[in-house]
Chain A
Amino acid sequence: MSVLLELSELRKSFGGVAAVAGASFGVADGSITAVIGPNGAGKSTVFNLASGFMRPDTGSIRFGGADITGRRADAVARAGLVRAFQTARVLTRMTVEENMRLAARAQPGERLGAAWLMPRAVARREEEVCARAAELLGLIRLQHLARDYAGALSGGQRKLLELGRALMAEPRMLLLDEPMAGVAPVLAEQLLDHIRVLRAEHGITICVIEHDMDVVMSLSDRVIVMDEGRVIAQGTPEEVQRNDKVIEAYLGRLAGAEADRLAEQAAS
């Protein structure tokens, strides 16, 4: 499989603190790749760099064969690399429907002149946009809230809406920053299904930051483990689980705590 997103030797410091210190990894076209690591490992910063919301100090980012290093966020999104945020950023004083339609591509009515002078072309495209928005709202099960203000949605629903809005932008690849965080278990299960469907039916490549190890193990083809701004291991979920460095840096703390608890139980 070819590599869709390739990050090479990315570095980013904030006032002397290196959040990302030479991270390199690739995401294969059509894969679901999970990025894991303890808090402060630099996962979210890597996402910010890849999506153009921050510029790397050094290093390069290639997407679909083109160098996108230093491009602005909107240009990166138009190239097909669309992100969702850790805390969902919905447009609260607009309706759910408007949130979705806003993200549509190629709407001539977004140009000032066409908005005034080409009402027919605008209306024609708007019809397609509405149909697509309705379809995607069905997929994320929010169609019954289409006319409500997005500010009235719960945290989990906002996450779903943000995912739907990202899909309206017709991405080749999605960057999802903790899509399950704050989502009720039943809803999270649905969200997982959606993510699998997106890859299987629409061929959308997905890169996801996730803390829940069960989710990571069941969802992803490939896992990238970060610690202190570097990639310390990568491979299939099974390989990563058996990797000593990973156990030490990340899973090890949990495993150690569990061992201590068992030892305590045996002693009493």
Chain B
Amino acid sequence: MGVFNPAFWIFVSVIAGIYAIMALGLYVQFSLAGLPNFGHVAFMAVAAYTMAILAVRYQVPLLWSSLAGIVAAIALAFIFGIPTLRLRADYLAIATVAGGEIIRYLAMNLPDLTGGPVGSMAMLGPTKLAMYNGGWQAMLGAISRAVSSFLGVTLSRDAVMAAIVWILAALLIILIWRLERSPWGRVQKGIREDDVAVAAVGKDVVAFKMQALVLGAVLGGLSGLLLAFQIGVFSPDDFLPTLTFYAYLILILGGSNRIYAIPVGAIAFSLLYSGTRFLNFFPLSLFDSGSRAFLRLFLVGALLVLFMALRPQGLLGDRRQLMLEK
């Protein structure tokens, strides 16, 4: 697809919106509560697989299978949190790194349940093609038809999806923004600074951390569901550990501790990431397209290093706050 194809940019904006929700989950955990979660992708994967398995194998309606996906993400948050949240932050970091990979390897090695490395379309075995998002596509189509009959403009399904994703992202950001400014958010920020001091004035630090972890898991799970709906079929390769780090990059690009910077970061990241695919001119055209894909990752990495060196507070961050001594 060329640079000037609107369909391509609509697709990019859908992904950017999904990434914004994913990063919002990490924001609650990492930026707000100070919980280093390096396995955010696990919440996405667990929600997506739970939803797809229930929808494909048990014909559970999409709404209920999606809710079950969110519940599974919450359960995973408890599994990560119960043994580690009483300990130093490092232990949660280790548990989530390992947990994220365990989920992916389980998905890879339980082919009867998950379709294995082939992905969700092999869930019913090699002979039957399994699809989980017929209901979702039908809904997008219905909305698209309704819009065109009322307003007279024809919207593609991707455009409807982009609208849904970004409206959802905006609502969730407002919701979390309100929470951040509430006394609940104040306690979370205190815990991020010094959990001992917060315990000393009578706050149940472990319970607060668990709430942040679970809330982040719900948002992560939701973004996993949306990603699954968008791409139609998925495999363990769609939930690589790098996805977690994309979420961190979005927070860093926009400016950590700034919730309104998340959409900015998500858009900036998606532009960087998909924009670099148009670097097909000389001298880059000397590489074949496969090598250029790696070059793209390399360029994204280099840009981020530059960012950290020159503008550590992100696009919209407050340098003054960053420079305060502990």
Contact = CB atoms under 8 A, between A and B. Distances in A.
Interface of A: 51, 53, 72-75, 77-78, 82-85, 89-94, 98-99, 101-105, 107, 109-112, 115-116, 122, 126, 149, 151-152, 162, 165-166, 168-169
Contacts of B290: none
Given A92-B325, A166-B201, A102 B187 contact: yes
B189 A94 contact: yes
Contacts of B204: 72, 74-75
A98 B325 CA distance: 17
Interface stretch (B75-83, B160-168, B178-186, B231-239): B178-186
Given A53-B196, A82-B201, A116-B175, A92 B326 contact: yes
A101 B189 CA distance: 12
B324 A102 contact: no
B211 to A, nearest CB: 6
B190 to A, nearest CB: 5
Contacts of B186: 94, 98, 101-102
Given A92-B325, A92-B326, A110 B203 contact: yes
14 contacts: A53-B199, A74-B202, A74-B205, A77-B201, A82-B200, A82-B202, A85-B196, A94-B186, A101-B183, A109-B182, A110-B187, A112-B184, A115-B179, A122-B182
Nearest to A125: B183
A207 to B, nearest CB: 15
Contacts of B197: 85, 89-91, 162
Given A92-B193, A110-B184, A168 B201 contact: yes
Contacts of A116: 175, 178-179, 182
A88 to B, nearest CB: 9
A77 B199 contact: yes
Given A73-B199, A126-B183, 13 more contacts: A74-B203, A75-B202, A82-B201, A85-B197, A91-B189, A92-B325, A93-B324, A101-B183, A102-B203, A110-B184, A110-B187, A115-B178, A151-B326
A73 B200 contact: yes
Contacts, number: 108
Dominant SS among interface residues on chain B: helix
B196 A89 contact: yes
Given A102-B186, A112-B215, A116-B179, A93 B321 contact: yes
Contacts of A102: 186-187, 190, 198, 201, 203
Nearest to B175: A116
Nearest to B196: A89
Contacts of A107: 183
A85 to B, nearest CB: 7
B324 A152 contact: yes
Contacts of B112: none
A168 B326 CA distance: 23
Say which size band chain B's interface belongs to: 20 to 34
A84 B185 CA distance: 23
A149 B324 contact: yes
Contacts of B190: 91, 94, 98-99, 102
A116 B215 CA distance: 13
A74 B200 CA distance: 6
A244 B170 CA distance: 73
A103 B179 contact: no
B194 interface: yes
A107 B184 CA distance: 9
**Which of the listed residues A84, A89, A104, A166 has the most CB atoms from chain B within 10 Å of its own CB?**
A89
A99 B201 CA distance: 11
A152 to B, nearest CB: 7
A111 B184 contact: yes
A82 B201 CA distance: 6
A101 to B, nearest CB: 7
A97 B205 CA distance: 20
Contacts of A93: 189, 193, 321, 324
A77 B321 contact: no
B200 A85 contact: yes
B199 A74 contact: yes
Nearest to A77: B202
B281 to A, nearest CB: 45
Contact of B201 (A122, A151, A169): A169
Contact of B202 (A84, A92, A101, A169): A169
Contact of A112 (B200, B202, B211, B321): B211
B196 A103 contact: no
A221 to B, nearest CB: 25
A91 B186 CA distance: 11
Contacts of A152: 324
B324 A92 contact: yes
B183 A105 contact: no
A162 B194 CA distance: 13
Contacts of B193: 91-94
Nearest to B324: A151
Nearest to B212: A112
Interface string B79-108: 000000000000000000000000000000
Nearest to A167: B201
Contacts of A111: 184
Nearest to A90: B197
Contacts of B187: 102, 110
